[in-house]
Amino acid sequence: MSTHSILIPKPGAIAKQSNVFTWQFGTNPETTATIISFELRHFIPTGEKSWSISGSTGTLEEKNIFLYSFSIPYTSDAPFHKTYTLEDGLTFQHGHSSPGPSGFYGFTYVDADEATVTIDIHPTKGIAKGTFEAKFKSHGYRTQPIGTFNLLRDDL
């Protein structure tokens, strides 16, 4: 069993102007997220901490949300450079608007079948920079995003 927090941006939410989160599929044009999150998450029941990063476009109201989200384990406040895979504790998801019954917004979330994140992070300065790539092959998905991010933490 796995559990994932689903963070859906509120209307009017905007990314810090300096934050950049992009992805691309093959030779298609690059997409730049309009809503970006970078924070240290703390799961109270277990005490576990993780770095959580996401980038999205669209809104619930317009039924056009499209996002990528990933998290890596928190180890300490020391700066580090590391490449993570799903086997190293990386979690990587894709979410998008989907049809819902009358009166409801629909939203679908799927885990990556393969993913790699290379990250340079300086926790006390709140800086993260890196690249990612993922493959979604299950449940009819075939997306294979390759992306970059250059971020300042939301909670500092």
Residue 119 has a pLDDT of 98
Q: CB 128: neighbour CB atoms within 10 A?
A: 20
Residue 1 — pLDDT band, cuts 50, 70, 90?
very low
Using the predicted structure, report yes or no on whether residue 77 has a pLDDT greater than 90: yes
pLDDT at 120: 98
